[in-house]
Amino acid sequence: MTRRVVLLGGGYVTLHAYGALVRRVRGMLRDGSVEIVVVSDNLVHNFHGFTGEVVSGLLPAHLTQTPLAEAMPLATVVHARVEHVDLSARTVTYRPADGSARGTTSYDALVLGTGAGEPVDEVDGLIGRGLTLRHPGGLEALAARAQAADDDADPVVVVGGGLAGAELAAALADRCGGRPGRVVLVHRGDRVVPALHARRPRLARRVEHELARLGVDVRTGVAVTSADDDGVTLSDGTRVRTRTVLATTGQRAVRLPGTEPLARDDDGRLRTLPDLTVRDGVWAAGDAARVLHPRTHEPVPANALWAIKAGDQVGRNVARALQSRPGLPFRYLGLGQGAAFGVGHGVADIWGLSITGPLAWTLRLVFFLRFLPSRRRAHAIPAELRRRHRRRRGQTVLSDRSLDLGVRREPRALTTVEG
C-alpha cells in the first residue's frame, strides 16, 4: 500500500521538508511505497531574501523564483487553494486554480507550511491599496509598483519599521538615488528596528544611519490610521500624499478551515511539540507555527532561516515516522540575521558578532545564495548584480573583486566587527 505525504504551501518549510524527506526515503519513493503531494496556490517558490535587490532594480524577479516542480521533481504538485482539512478522516480538500471541481486527497502524514500574511485589514482602506511582501502577485508586483513610482511626484510610503520594513525602505530609496524625501517610513514605535535595539543597539544605530544616508523620511511614534487613493492619514493627523503604500506590518498565521481543534497561541500560531508535531501524523513549522527554541524555550523568530531549519527537522521526522521510528526534537540554536542597504552597505548579527559594512553585505549575499533553491539561478545572481550595479553607478571600470566583496570604495563604507 502506498503511503502519502501531503505538504501544504510552497514556501521554505515545504521545500526543506521535501528535501530532508527525499534524502531518507528515496528507496520508498522509487518502489512506490511512498508518494509526496504538494498543494500550493502558487506554482513558484518566491525567495524573499533578495526582495530588496528586486525592488531596487538590482535583480530581476525571475532569478529569485523557482518553479515548485523544478525544486521538488519527485513530488506531485497540485496548483490549488486548500479549502478544508479533515483531521479525523485525514483528508485535504482543495479548489484547483484552473476553476475545475474541487478535489480531495488523503494523507498518512501532513505538513502545515502555510505561512502567514500581513494584517492589512487592521488599517482602514489599506486592503487593495497596500502591497505586502507576501502579495499574491509576488515580487513582480512589488517591483512593478516600485518602477511605476519612479515617475510619481509623491513619495512611496512604507508602513512598519522592523528590519524588513527598514530594508525595503532603503531599497526603494537606493532605487531613487538617495534623493531625500522620496521614501517615507512610518513606524508606530519610538525607534525603528526595536528588536535589534534590544539585542544589538550598535547595529540598530547603524540601520538608522543607513536610512539617513539614503534620504529616507523616518516618522516614528505614529501609525497609519487610514488610506485612500490619494494618500495615507497618520495618527497625529498628518496627511501624506502617495499613490504607493507598501506594508510590512507584522504577521498573522494562515488558519486553514478544519484545523480549529489544534492548539494555538495568542498570535494564532499552531503550538508544536519538541518534534514539531501538532497532532499524530501532522507537523507544522515556519510562520504558521509556534516553534520553541531548544535552549531558551521561547518562540523562535519568524524568519526564513528558522523556517528552513524547522522544515529540515520536519522532513527528517516524517521520514522517521514512515520508518516506524520516533521523531527527534528540534535542536537548531540559530545563526543570526542580516540586512542590506545598498551594495556594500549592510548589517549582520552572526553568532553574537555585530558586523557592518562590506563584510556584512557579503556574508548576507553568500548566505542567501547558499539557500536559494535553484543552483542555476544562484550562480547567475552575482554576475547580474555586478552588471546592474555597474550600469546604475555609471562606472566604466569595476573590478570583480570590488563588487564581490561589496567594496564601494567610499570612505564611509567601513567594516567593523564586534563581539
Please give the pLDDT value at position 138: 65
Return the DSSP state at 131.
E
Q: Would you tell me which CATH number, out of the four given (3.90.920.10, 3.50.50.60, 3.40.50.10860, 3.40.640.10), belongs to the domain 3-116+252-322?
A: 3.50.50.60
Please give the pLDDT value at position 55: 92
pLDDT in tens, the chain (419 residues): 899 999 999 999 999 999 999 999 999 999 999 999 999 999 999 999 999 999 999 999 999 999 999 999 999 999 999 999 999 999 999 999 999 999 999 999 999 999 988 777 777 777 767 777 776 566 777 788 888 888 788 999 999 999 999 999 999 999 988 889 899 999 999 999 999 999 899 999 999 999 999 999 999 999 999 999 899 999 999 999 998 899 887 788 999 999 999 999 999 999 999 999 999 999 999 999 999 999 999 999 988 999 999 999 999 999 999 999 999 999 999 999 999 999 999 999 998 899 999 999 999 999 999 999 999 999 999 999 999 999 887 743 444 444 444 433 343 344 444 54
Cell of 401: 573583486
Residue 369: closest CA among 358, 384, 380: 380
Please give the pLDDT value at position 408: 39
CA distance 204 to 163: 9
Please give the pLDDT value at position 405: 41
Please give the pLDDT value at position 413: 41
Please give the pLDDT value at position 136: 58
Cell of 285: 513549522
CA distance 380 to 246: 28
CA distance 17 to 310: 8
DSSP secondary structure of 334-369: --EEEEESSTT-EEEEETTEEEETHHHHHHHHHHHH
Q: Outline which parts of the chain fall under CATH 3.50.50.60.
A: 3-116+252-322, 119-250
Whether residue 286 contacts residue 253, with contact meaning beta carbons closer than 8 Å, is answered with: no
Please give the pLDDT value at position 400: 43
Return the DSSP state at 292.
B
Supply the CATH classification number for the domain 119-250: 3.50.50.60
DSSP secondary structure of 48-112: GGGHHHHHHTSS-GGGGEEEHHHH-TTEEEEEEEEEEEETTTTEEEEEETTS---EEEE-SEEEE
CA distance 203 to 213: 15
Give the list of residues 6+ apart from residue 153 with CB closer than 8 angstroms, or none: none
Please give the pLDDT value at position 103: 98
pTM, full prediction: 0.89
Cell of 322: 514512515
CA distance 399 to 44: 34
Whether residue 38 contacts residue 78, with contact meaning beta carbons closer than 8 Å, is answered with: yes
Look at residue 159 and give its three-state secondary structure. Answer: strand
